[in-house]
Amino acid sequence: MESVSIKTEKEIAVMAEGGKILAGILEELKKMVRPGITTKELDEVAEQLLFKFGKPSFKGYNGFPSATCVSVNEEIVHTVPGERKLEEGDIVSIDIGLEYKGYHSDMATTVAVGKISSIAEKLIEATRKSLNMGIKEIKPGNYLGDIGWAVQRSGESMGFGVVRDLCGHGIGKKIHEEPQVLNYGKKKMGMEIKEGMVLCVEPMLTVGDYNIKKAGDGFSIRTADGSLSAHFEHTIAVTKNGHRILTSL
């Protein structure tokens, strides 16, 4: 296993610059979400904006062909944007990464397309809350298990499945670094959290159970039972007294 890279204050400052830019780009994409737009149209705008400031982290990564992952309804993550048109009542997860001055930032959000069902609304809110509960556990002296425990407890207490076969990760000069940041776990277990770590926490919740399956294209991952899924993610630096969300405006 690779060791976990500890970032300097200077490196974290660069990552915060990139993260703020990325958050701004994601805001622009959220405004575009409406019935009738294709997932490819969202991706094309994202790619233009990402290249304006740096380059897309995902394009070409393990052969992935696009700048963003745009996953609709039962699609959880890694869906390649295409000709699919968004429809009223859909929910769409947009996952996006930027390489800026040699460092990556990574974030995701799930957005309603027009008016959505009450269960879809509840799912989005629960996933956002699970992310926030996980982030609260990030501080020196806590453990990665504390993050997973908080995410799992929050999601399951609201009646949703918490996907286990996908996880968050460290980030820096590479888009995916050690350690893995699981969305389930036990308190005080796993690696100790240290100042200078930069972590991506990314809960994925489902209306059904947490089992997943890969689509025929080799990239898209969806719920095995076809139920709705939502996904939120932030890039977070561990500071002396707690944490700093780098992908925020």
* pLDDT 10s digits, 16-34: 999 999 999 999 999 999 9
Question: What is the number of domains present in the chain?
Answer: 1
What pLDDT score was predicted for residue 152?
98
* Phi, psi of 222, rounded to the nearest 5 degrees: -130, 170
What pLDDT score was predicted for residue 1?
55
CATH number at residue 25: 3.90.230.10
Query: Is 150 within the bounds of a domain?
Result: yes
Using CA atoms, how far apart are residues 246 and 1, in angstroms rounded to an integer?
26
Query: Is 114 within the bounds of a domain?
Result: yes
Query: Is 2 within the bounds of a domain?
Result: no
Binding site residues for a divalent metal cation, as ranges?
A: 95, 106, 169, 202, 233
* pLDDT 10s digits, 116-127: 999 999 999 999
Query: Which residues does residue 93 pair with via DSSP β-bridges, in sequence order?
Result: 71, 110
Query: Is 3 within the bounds of a domain?
Result: no
Query: Is 66 within the bounds of a domain?
Result: yes
- Domain that residue 165 falls in: 9-245
Q: Does the structure show a pLDDT above 80 at 176?
A: yes
On average, the pLDDT of the chain sits at 97
* pLDDT 10s digits, 43-62: 999 999 999 999 999 999 99
What pLDDT score was predicted for residue 216?
86
Query: How many helices (DSSP H) and strands (DSSP E) are in the chain?
Result: 4, 15
Binding site residues for substrate, as ranges?
A: 78, 176
Query: Is 86 within the bounds of a domain?
Result: yes
What average pLDDT does this structure show over 182-208?
98
Binding site residues, as ranges?
A: 78, 95, 106, 169, 176, 202, 233
Query: Which residues does residue 78 pair with via DSSP β-bridges, in sequence order?
Result: none
Q: Is 195 exposed, middle or buried (0-12, 13-18, 19+ CB in 10 A)?
A: middle
